[in-house]
Amino acid sequence: MISLLFPALLSFGSGLLLVFSPAVRRLCDPFLPFFPWLVLICGLFLAWRFNRSRLAWTLLLLTAATIFLQFSGAEQQRALNLWLPLLLPLSLLIILLMPEKGFFTPTGMARPLLLILLGGAAALFQQLRPDLVSQMAGMHPAAWLHFDFLPLLPIVLTCGGSLLVSAIWCWRHPEPLETGLLTTQLLSLPALFHPSPLTAATWFGLAGLAPTLAIVEMSLQMAFRDDLTGLRGRRALNESLQRLGARYCVAMVDIDHFKKFNDRHGHDVGDQVLRMVAARLAGVGGGGRPFRYGGEEFAILFPGRGLDECLPELEELRREIEAARFTVRRRYLRPKKRPQHPKPAGNSSRQLKVTVSIGVAQRQRSMDPGMVIKEADKALYRAKKAGRNRVCR
């Protein structure tokens, strides 16, 4: 949850400080004109290195909006009062909804083409109905405060609809970049509806900061979190071991007969078993921290705990996994031989029993973390040799 909200909270917090703290604003005033360009450079570099075209096009859109607001004349400003609140939310929505496929792929190339078509449609409408455009462009969104916003209803619907669809999308796809792109839309609103171009440039910079920070957060997740199970990975385990005190326990958990699951039912079922076991490990008590160690093996750290405190928690964990029945749908059931006349998959299913073997060791004097893991591995081997589905110390 922290990784999901951190980019949004930092960007929003920075904006609130600039708005409500005159001291912070005076301190930052000399640097604010350069802030959007710094975000652009850093963000484009990250987008290039991580092959994230959505971030690149978001930053380029915000930069274009900043340039238009800062360097347009009075007549152009009137048109921008209409077109920016209409086109920018729609463009950001297109970027959010189109999947990330890199830059030079059909989807990656279709994204800028759609944005160009959207701008072309706006230019065509301005040519066909200049009278209506002139009437609507003459009203700045500040007119909403006087309750005279009926001609601005398209802008209200566009901004509100884009935010609603984006919020639903982020709720369905809880990822840091999705949340960052939603934050971009929210932070763009003060820029669109504020008369000061300099303040608009600052808001656009903050809007671009959110997805840029989201890319950094995603890179940290990729480095320290296992993609399949959602648990922290081996690198995170190694770092956590270096920060532990003198008293702790390490438990090694291995799924019994996991190779048979893969051979008999396929890797899809094997992945589901890993996720199910990982979900149980995530709820382990006693202050345990689960990690994906590799393959079908997991590790659990118990900082500040001894064996007498850890063993009841591990035994409870083992019983929970044993009691949980794993259901395999028919479409995942793999026959031993390919039938001559295969039948379509139905809705029938089969329940499988999943068990784990656990070995646990406590750090003793003069033992480094690697030695503690080796002792836990030896205990795990004893558990398997004794018949599996048990906890050994």
* Burial group, residue 40, by CB count within 10 angstroms (0-12, 13-18, 19+): buried
- CA gap 67, 70 in Å, rounded: 5
- CA gap 367, 77 in Å, rounded: 70
- CA gap 55, 184 in Å, rounded: 11
Q: Judge contact between 285 and 312, C-beta under 8 A.
A: no
User: Packing angle between helix 2-20 and helix 197-224, nearest 10 degrees?
Assistant: 160
Residues with catalytic roles? 296
Torsion sign over Cα 12, 186, 48, 65: negative
H helix or E strand, kind and range, residue 357: strand 356-362
- CA gap 261, 253 in Å, rounded: 17
Report DSSP letters for 60-87, one per residue. HHHHHHHHHHHH--HHHHHHHHHHHHHH
User: Packing angle between helix 234-242 and helix 369-385, nearest 10 degrees?
Assistant: 120
Give the helix ranges, DSSP H, for 51-152. Answer: 53-71, 74-97, 106-128, 130-137
Q: Judge contact between 219 and 49, C-beta under 8 A.
A: no
Exposure string over 108-136, b if 16+ CB within 10 A, otherwise e? beebeeebeeeeeebeeebeeeeeebeeb
- Strands 391-392 and 356-362, sheet pairing: parallel
| DSSP secondary structure letter of residue 257 | T
- CA gap 147, 191 in Å, rounded: 21
Contacts of 261 (CB under 8 A, 6+ apart): 255, 269, 270, 273, 352
CA distances from 54 to 116, 161, 294 (A): 15, 20, 32
